[in-house]
């Protein structure tokens, strides 16, 4: 059985080391919040599958080859001969400021629909991971995510939902209307502090938002605090984990790494404290290296970053 099934859009990310308007070399990478999580888990030895649509061209082939090279199961990926790849530019505008520009409207990945998900859901998994990016991509993707969440809940597959609000894709009002009901089906909800009001009607106060989610059946609410670590809210109370101090060179992908570490700990049967420590360790690996996922550890590397005793 698969440990993790995740679904979303994988993107071709073109990274610049300076302002895009000035041109200059771009390097090509695989990006995508859910595929980042799948890679994080596969690196740690879990059986992780990613499902979605890719373009039926060289760029779709690039996406698949990257995932396969990382040991991610791509059996259920569909190739769409009609639609282009989803592309993003990641522009390093200054040393501290990066900007994202998407060319993904009408992409293969955005055309995801329920039929794409029947086989992977039927195959089963110990966890289903989704992000709030996918339902922002199209009506059919929104329907597909809602269907997957309900189907998983009915089959007893715990769902984790990372809010991952992307202002370039939809308004906060639309995100809230879609994500608040979905969150009620999730076992784990992951959000940064400024995303909590998108999964509850209880407002932006962290304690109130977490309490509302727990009341609605969510087991664990993970609130990401960046350099301050994270807090986990459960029916038993709240627990804080500090970030592991490292020299940060690139924070993109840190949230996905955090999620992968947490879910890895869950799959390994660790208690909450050790799950959080593994999450913090993976977040540290992600920020300490360039790229969304390239710096993530194999299992034997977990102890390279101090504080990550959760190996």
Nearer to ligand KDG, 11 or 157 (CB): 11
Considering the complex, state which of residue 229 and residue 283 has its C-beta at the smaller distance from ligand KDG: 283
Q: What share of the chain is helix, strand, coil (3-state, %, to 5)?
A: 40, 25, 35
Measuring CA to CA, which residue among 157, 158, 116, 151 is closest to residue 134? 116
State the residues that interact with ligand KDG by CB under 6 A: 11, 31-33, 36, 88, 133, 166, 252-253, 255-256, 292
Report the nearest approach of ligand KDG to the CB of residue 142 (Å).
Answer: 15
- Looking at the Cβ atoms of 162 and 197, the one nearer to ligand KDG is 162
Min CB(215)–ligand KDG separation in Å: 29
**Closest to 117 (Cα-Cα) out of 185, 182, 51, 73:** 51
CB-nearer residue toward ligand KDG: 142 or 202: 142
Q: Which residue(s) pair with 188 in the sheet?
A: 160, 220
Which stretches of 32-138 are DSSP H helices? 33-43, 58-69, 114-123
Catalytic residue among 56, 256, 292, 300, which?
A: 256
- Distance separating alpha carbons of residues 31 and 227, to the nearest angstrom: 22
Q: At its nearest, how many Å lie between ligand KDG and the CB of residue 306?
A: 25
Residue given tokens 């888990």 in the structure block: 41
Instruction: Output the smallest distance, CB 193 to ligand KDG, in A.
Output: 17
Please tell me whether residue 206 adopts helix, strand or coil conformation: helix
d(CA 204, CA 10): 30
Q: How far apart are CA 306 and CA 302, in angstroms?
A: 9
The yes-or-no answer on residue 250 being catalytic is no
In the bound state, the residue with its beta carbon closest to ligand KDG is 31
Min dist. Cβ of residue 258 to ligand KDG (A) = 10
Helix axes 254-267, 272-288, angle to 10 degrees: 150
- Residue 121 and residue 113: Cα distance in Å, rounded? 13
Nearer to ligand KDG, 253 or 283 (CB): 253
Q: Is 125 helix (H, G, I), strand (E, B) or coil?
A: strand
* Active site residue ranges: 256
């Amino acid at each position: 059985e698969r440990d993790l099934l995740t679904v979303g859009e994988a993107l071709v990310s073109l990274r610049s080391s300076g302002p895009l308007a000035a041109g200059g070399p771009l390097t090509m990478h695989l990006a995508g919040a859910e595929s980042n999580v799948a890679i994080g888990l596969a690196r740690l030895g879990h059986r992780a599958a990613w499902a979605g649509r890719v373009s039926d061209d060289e760029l779709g082939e690039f996406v698949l080859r990257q995932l396969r090279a990382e040991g991610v199961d791509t059996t259920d990926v569909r190739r769409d001969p009609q639609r282009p790849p989803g592309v993003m530019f990641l522009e390093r505008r200054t040393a501290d400021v990066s900007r994202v520009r998407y060319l993904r409207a009408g992409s293969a990945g955005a055309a995801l629909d329920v039929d794409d998900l029947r086989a992977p859901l039927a195959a089963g998994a110990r966890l289903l991971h989704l992000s709030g990016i996918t339902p922002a991509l199209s009506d059919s993707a929104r329907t597909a995510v809602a269907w997957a969440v309900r189907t998983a809940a009915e089959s007893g597959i715990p769902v984790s939902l990372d809010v991952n609000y992307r202002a370039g894709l939809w308004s906060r009002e639309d995100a809230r209307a879609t994500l608040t009901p979905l969150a009620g089906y999730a076992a784990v909800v992951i959000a940064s502090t400024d995303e909590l009001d998108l999964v509850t009607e209880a407002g932006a106060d962290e304690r109130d938002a977490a309490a509302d989610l727990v009341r609605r059946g969510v087991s664990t609410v993970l609130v990401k605090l960046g350099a301050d670590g994270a807090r986990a809210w459960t029916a038993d109370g709240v627990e804080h984990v500090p970030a592991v101090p490292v020299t940060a060179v690139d924070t993109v992908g840190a949230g996905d790494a955090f999620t992968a570490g947490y879910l890895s700990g869950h799959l390994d049967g660790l208690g909450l404290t050790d799950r959080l420590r593994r999450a913090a360790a993976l977040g540290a690996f992600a920020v300490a290296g360039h790229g969304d996922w390239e710096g993530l550890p194999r299992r034997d590397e977990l102890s390279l970053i101090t504080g990550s005793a959760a190996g």
